[in-house]
Structure 1
Amino acid sequence: MTSNFQGFPKDFLRFYAELIENNNREWFNANKQRYKDVVVYPMCDFIEAMAPRLEAIAPMFIADPRPNGGSMFRIYRDVRFSRDPKPYKEHAACQFRHQAGRDAHAPGYYVHLALDGVRFGGGIYLPPAPVLAKIRHAIDERGKEWKGIKADPDFRATFHEGIRGDGLKRAPKNFSIDHPEIEDLRRKTLFVMKPLDDINRITRPDFVDEVEDAFHKATPFMRFLTNAVELPF
């Protein structure tokens, strides 16, 4: 497959190293064009390169390369209810959401790029209570399938930490604390992530191949979540 993506530029990493030291509007405004050149446009190229690959893996999920309103998350932080006054996110990220989802609470594939770690995979983030209830009931009713996904050798080799996500301290309503899948039933977020052992690999053209492979390995998990919330995969 051909695309404009040739890896993220090395200045991508330098930009975020400097942003961490200068997370203020004055510095960012002085480096805004640089941000577009080394972060936004390369991310758009990456998303565009992922589009046909994602369509082959999960055709109901969208890779939108637009710099605004597409798959890429904005750099601006919402500080209205935060104790952290920093105005800018110190990482870049994109999410390929299900076409039925209008926000980050729908199932999606995800890529996170930061100096303290690069990771990619998929899941669902803090779904509303009725949606989460559907996922819990699917895990309960289709326990054999759920266990099979987690036990698959390719899945385990790719996602060493398994299924993750913050959860309740107690069993959710209508489920026993002794349920064999209680750890996952208590989760309020469910995701799998593959960490990259060397962040400099994002500067290589084949980074897109690594992400594609992880998305492929995450697909049985993503299919389960998507079908559980009554959406087509």
Structure 2
Amino acid sequence: MPLRKRAASSVIDEPRRSRRISSTVKKSNYFKDGDSDDPLTTGVAKKAKGKSTPRGKRREVVEDDISDEYQEEDTADQDEEHDEEEEHEDGGDQDDFATKVTVVKVQSLRPDGGVEYRDDFLHKNTSLFLKDLKAHNEREWLKSNDREFRRAQQDWESFVMSFTSKLSSLDFTIPELPARDVIFRIYRDTRFSKDPTPYKPGNCYVGGGLWHPENDSVYKIRESIDERPRRWRRILNNPDLKKQFLPDASKSSDPEEALKAFAVRNKENAMKARPKGIPADHRDLALLKLRNYVLSKKVPDGVIFGPGSQDKLVEIFTPLVPFVSLLNSIVRPDPNVDGEFDSGDDNE
């Protein structure tokens, strides 16, 4: 029997869709006990076997689904336009760029009490400012007392510049640098601190040495301690040095006590294990573990403030000169300077 030609279907304006999707899709056993989120798949799975949905109805289902999608998109667009209109009417994000003005009442300067400001000592008002800052460690307070802060800062800088020239007379290797290069900032770094106070208002101390030096400098100092132990004992057992910076060791006649006291004062950041290549029974193992080499002491405010303060500080700094010179000769030896520390410091 000859095949008959199928009549041409009417032209459809909608996008062409495969008929195999709705006629042949079956629900997988994987989803047998579960519910499907796809309405087309759910409807096909529930149809009886051997029956098919007429093409007209299939087309209606697809058209309804597509029209629902476009209707949801149109509704979302209308909501966005409505929100934009409300945001435009209310001013939108313009409030984020509004200028905020904070009014700070500026305090007047404290009277000088008839004592003029000089370069060779710190004025009493500078001490009073630091005490007030300690009691009111806040940015708003410092802003309101900015004039007093600037005056105290200028007093401190002039004092540092004047005292640097006296230190240079003790140790010619100390250069005369600008004040900003040798002064700590008053602002604290609070990023990794539990203390939220923004400023450093006090703690007067005197000291010298190497704090957190580079690894190359640490290796050189360890080599010096290992090869020239007598040199370190001679420097650290200076009577004036022990009196000022190692008072506990000054009470003992044993020279090893000075080395023990020095190691205790620099135990922060020290190695827990012995350095590589150093035997466990090395007599200076405590010194070889160190990474800091500093001598310091706190001084009362009366030493810093008032007439004659620089002479008092020179007296404290003088015993530190041989110690600092020893470190300089190890870390940054000067070829133009004779090795004053080499005499009598052979290996032991």
Question: TM class, shorter-chain normalised?
Answer: 0.7 to 0.9
- Structure 2: which 5+ residue stretches go unaligned? 1-116, 248-260, 338-348
CA drift of 1:231 comes to 3.9
Unpaired runs of 5+ residues, structure 1, are 92-113
Q: Which has the higher helix share?
A: 2
Task: State the alpha-carbon separation in 2 of the partners of residues 16 and 52 from structure 1.
Answer: 25
Report if the CA contact (8 A) 2:124-2:306 is conserved: no
Give the structure 1 partner of residue 169 of structure 2.
56
Does the alignment pair 1:203 with 2:305? Answer: yes
Deviation, 1:136, is 1.3
Contact persistence 1:124–1:191 (CA under 8 A): yes
Tell me which stretches of 4 or more aligned residues in structure 1 moved more than 4 Å.
Answer: none
Q: Distance in 2 between matches of 1:222 and 1:130?
A: 18
Asked if structure 2 preserves the Cα contact closer than 8 Å seen for 1:47 and 1:65, the reply is no
Match of 2:332 in 1: 230
- Equivalents in 1 of 2:323, 2:182: separation in Å? 21
Give me the whole-angstrom Cα distance separating, in 1, the residues matched to 2:134 and 2:158. Answer: 24
The Cα of 1:65 is off from its aligned counterpart by: 4.5
> Which of 186, 211, 218 is 1:75 aligned to?
186
Q: Does 1:134 align with 2:220?
A: yes
1:6 deviation in Å?
A: 4.3
Partners of 1:13 and 1:76 lie apart in 2 by 17
Query: Which amino acid is the alignment partner of residue 157 of structure 1?
Result: K
CA distance in 2, matches of 1:33, 1:173: 55
**CA 1:62–1:30 in 2, change beyond 3 Å: closer, same or farther?**
farther
8 Å contact kept, 1:5–1:205: no
Where 1:121 maps in the other structure, the secondary structure is: strand
Distance apart, 1:84 and its partner CA: 2.5
Q: Give per-residue Cα distances to partners, 1:44-69, cap 9 Å, x unaligned.
A: 22212222222222222234353xx3
Aligned residue for 1:61, secondary structure, equals coil
- 1:202 positional shift: 1.8
Q: Which one of the candidate residues 105, 129, 146 is aligned to 2:232?
A: 146
Partner of 1:123: helix, strand, or coil?
strand
How many residue pairs align between the two structures? 202
TM-score by length of 1: 0.77
**Contact kept? 1:45, 1:65, Cα under 8 Å:** no
Instruction: Name which structure has the greater RCO, CA cutoff 8 Å, separation 6+.
Output: 1
Structure 1 pair 63/42, CA: closer, same or farther in 2 (3 Å)?
farther
Q: CA deviation at 1:9?
A: 2.0
SS in 2 for 1:23: coil
Letter in 2 for 1:190: Y
In structure 2, how many angstroms separate the alpha carbons of the residues matched to 1:199 and 1:28? 22
Instruction: Write 1 or 2 for the structure with the bigger share of strand.
Output: 1
Any conservation in 1 of the 2:186–2:199 contact (CA below 8 Å)? yes
Q: Which amino acid aligns with 1:156?
A: K
Equivalence for 1:18: 132
Is the Cα contact below 8 Å between 2:211 and 2:292 reproduced in 1? yes
Write the distance in 1 (CA, Å) between the matches of 2:215 and 2:311.
Answer: 35
- 1:44 alignment partner, one of 153, 157, 171: 157
Contact (CA 8 Å) 2:274, 2:280: kept in 1 or not? Answer: yes
**Relative to 1, partners in 2 of residues 1:31 and 1:37: Cα closer, same or farther, differing over 3 Å?**
same
Find 2:320's aligned residue among 218, 221, 224. Answer: 218
Counterpart amino acid of residue 206 in structure 1? G
CA distance in 2, matches of 1:63, 1:181: 36
User: Which residue number in structure 1 is paired with residue 78 of structure 2?
Assistant: none
Question: Which whole-Å deviations, capped at 9, do the CAs of 1:182-229 have from their partners, x for residues lacking one?
Answer: 222222211112332x32232222211122222221011101111111
Measure, in 2, the Cα distance between the counterparts of 1:28 and 1:127. Answer: 34
Check conservation: 2:121, 2:309, Cα contact below 8 A: yes
Distance 2:212 2:195 in 1: 21
